[in-house]
């Protein structure tokens, strides 16, 4: 096992180089098994847990995932203090006990929504504070004066420690950081973005923005929704897949055939190589793994133990060429 603890970008907090994503908790994974996964993650050294106010499902409600985490924290024995806890705000959270309210039941980053949704997350999580409170998406219609004032108020109240972004464009990151600097605020510490071998668009402008402003990059969907997790082999083995997933496989079959053959030659699982490729990038702090089972959690650890040599990296670039580097040189000069 080679779990390491890294600074989140240029900032002082130390987080594990794998982040435990909890979106499956309460949806594909029962509370009991979710507890077992979180306990094992801590044993393995994974201290970075990511959730969101809208996660839940499987006949339940949005917010149920935070409730599962809160019930686990309530077991005590230092669980809450051991975790760097990340959650998010932006989307509506519709729970049966709530009366629908237009200011908070729409997608936005108004001061009212940020305050109310933070309070709701704290109740469900059974904690006094959230370590990393992330904007789940950009809201370009809300002025930064309002948004940064809301986050600054929560920091001063001790309800959040750091602010991060998710699904921001490069220029959104730059704008947010500059607006925070004008107010003498710490600003963004991280960006959570889709990033994997088969989707490298963030290399154009998001990655350079994170590097320039010292943000930690937290890739979500590091296996491309399962495409990079040995999809062809699983289909050939009789695994049932959704029609939409099968269409994605067919659209990428040539690349996946070459990729899975390369992984076989290396003697590694495709999912392991996909995670290891992200960990090779110094801008990346921690890919988000979203295990449904203990077995999936354990298997993800292998990615922290292997290094990819230049020959393998060149072959991966040939299979998944990406956008050609950073803008503007990727498309101009």
Respond yes or no on whether the N-terminal peptide bond of residue 328 is cis (omega within 30° of 0). Answer: yes
Two structure tokens written together for 83: 């975790």
pLDDT tens by residue, 169-206 = 999 999 999 999 999 999 999 999 999 999 999 999 99
Closest CA to 160 of 134, 138, 136: 134
DSSP conformation class of 196: B
Helix (H, G, I), strand (E, B) or coil at 327: coil
Q: What are the boundaries of each domain within the chain?
A: 5-319
Q: What's residue 234's pLDDT?
A: 87
Q: What's residue 240's pLDDT?
A: 81
pLDDT band for position 236 (50/70/90)?
A: confident
Mean per-residue pLDDT over the chain, rounded: 95
Q: Which of 55, 90, 162, 259 is catalytic?
A: 55
In the Cβ-directed half-sphere of 107, how many Cα atoms lie within 13 Å?
Answer: 8
Q: What's residue 95's pLDDT?
A: 75
Distance CA 322, CA 270 (A): 18
Strand partners, 284: 217
Say if residue 80's pLDDT is above 80: yes
DSSP conformation class of 50: E
- Strands (E) located in the chain: 5-7, 14-16, 19-21, 48-50, 84-89, 130-135, 160-166, 188-194, 216-220, 288-289
Say if residue 291's pLDDT is above 70: yes
Say if residue 58's pLDDT is above 80: no
pLDDT band for position 292 (50/70/90)?
A: very high
Distance CA 148, CA 177 (A): 10
pLDDT band for position 233 (50/70/90)?
A: confident
pLDDT band for position 105 (50/70/90)?
A: confident
pLDDT tens by residue, 238-288 = 778 888 999 999 999 999 999 999 999 999 999 999 999 999 999 999 999
Q: With b meaning 16 or more CB within 10 Å and e meaning fewer, what string describes 142-164?
A: bebeebbebbbebbeeebbbbbb
Say if residue 299's pLDDT is above 90: yes
pTM of the model: 0.95
pLDDT tens by residue, 19-37 = 999 999 998 999 999 999 9
Distance CA 73, CA 80 (A): 5
Q: What integer is the mean pLDDT of 50-72? A: 91
Write the CB contacts of 19 (distance below 8 Å, at least 6 apart in sequence): 46, 48, 49, 50, 86, 218, 286, 287, 288, 289
In degrees, rounded to 5, the angle at the alpha carbon of residue 24 between the alpha carbons of residues 56 and 77 is 90
pLDDT tens by residue, 112-143 = 999 999 999 999 999 999 999 999 999 999 99
Say if residue 59's pLDDT is above 80: no
Say if residue 226's pLDDT is above 60: yes
Give catalytic status of residue 55 as yes or no. yes
Question: What's the start-to-end Cα distance of the chain, in Å?
Answer: 43
Q: Largest Cα–Cα distance of the chain, in whole Å?
A: 58
Q: What's residue 1's pLDDT?
A: 54
> CATH for 5-319, among 3.90.230.10, 3.30.930.10, 3.20.20.100, 3.30.420.40?
3.20.20.100
Say if residue 86's pLDDT is above 90: yes
């Amino acid at each position: 096992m080679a779990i390491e603890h890294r600074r989140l970008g240029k900032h002082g907090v130390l987080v594990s180089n794998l982040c435990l994503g909890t979106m499956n908790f309460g949806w594909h994974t029962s509370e009991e098994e979710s507890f077992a996964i979180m306990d094992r993650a801590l044993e393995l050294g994974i201290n970075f847990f990511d959730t969101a106010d809208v996660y839940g499902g499987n006949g339940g409600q949005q917010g149920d995932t935070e409730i599962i985490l809160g019930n686990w924290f309530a077991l005590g024995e230092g669980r809450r203090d051991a975790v760097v806890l990340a959650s998010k705000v932006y989307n509506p959270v519709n729970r049966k006990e709530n009366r629908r309210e237009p200011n908070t039941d729409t997608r936005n980053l108004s001061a009212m929504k940020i305050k109310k949704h933070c309070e709701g997350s704290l109740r469900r999580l059974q904690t006094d504070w959230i370590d990393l409170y992330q904007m789940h998406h950009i809201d370009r219609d809300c002025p930064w004066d309002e948004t940064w004032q809301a986050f600054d108020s929560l920091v001063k109240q001790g309800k959040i420690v750091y602010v991060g972004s998710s699904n921001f464009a490069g220029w959104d990151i730059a704008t947010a950081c500059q607006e925070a600097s004008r107010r003498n605020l710490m600003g963004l510490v991280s960006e959570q973005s889709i990033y994997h071998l088969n989707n490298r668009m963030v290399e154009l402008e998001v990655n350079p923005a994170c590097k320039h402003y010292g943000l930690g990059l937290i890739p979500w969907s590091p296996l491309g929704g399962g495409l990079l997790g040995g999809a062809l082999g699983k289909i050939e083995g009789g695994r049932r897949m959704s029609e939409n997933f099968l269409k994605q496989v067919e659209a990428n079959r040539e690349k996946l055939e070459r990729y899975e053959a390369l992984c076989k030659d290396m003697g590694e699982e495709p999912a392991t190589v996909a995670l290891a490729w992200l960990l090779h990038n110094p801008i990346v702090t921690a890919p988000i793994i979203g295990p449904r089972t203990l077995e999936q959690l354990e298997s993800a650890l292998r990615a922290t133990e292997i290094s990819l040599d230049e020959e393998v990296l060149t072959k991966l670039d040939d299979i998944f060429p990406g956008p050609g580097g950073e803008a503007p040189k990727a498309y101009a000069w």
